[in-house]
Amino acid sequence: MQAAKKALKAAQLYIDAVPSFSHDLVILSSSIDDVQLQRLARQLQQLVTDASCRKLYDPDPIEYRVIPHDEHDRQTAVDAMNCTTEILVRVNELID
């Protein structure tokens, strides 16, 4: 998810969009006029869920720390990796 966020923020900078400080993939992709990228961002966000994002950025994460293996099964991890790869490829296409 981190790689996807960085890629979306890079795409925002590349197209001179107003950069967002959000951690929400859907919000980050909304300023990029690319339906495929928006769909992929939404798909990845749904795979990893908002709860894991809140845990990651909680100001006191010690209380909420979980092992990803306990929260996601192997197929979800594979799907998330594939979706992230597609986001990286698509952003690379936009930038090139």
Residue 57 has pLDDT above 70, yes or no: no
3-state secondary structure of 19: coil
pLDDT confidence of residue 48: 85
Please answer whether residues 4 and 44 qualify as being in contact, where contact means their C-beta atoms are separated by less than 8 angstroms. Answer: yes
pTM of the full predicted structure? 0.80
Q: What is the maximal distance between C-alpha atoms in the chain?
A: 43
Q: What is the mean pLDDT of the chain?
A: 84
Reported as a pLDDT band with limits 50, 70 and 90, residue 51 is: very low
Spatial separation of the C-alpha atoms in residues 49 and 60, rounded to whole Å: 19
C-alpha span between 47 and 7 (Å, rounded): 18
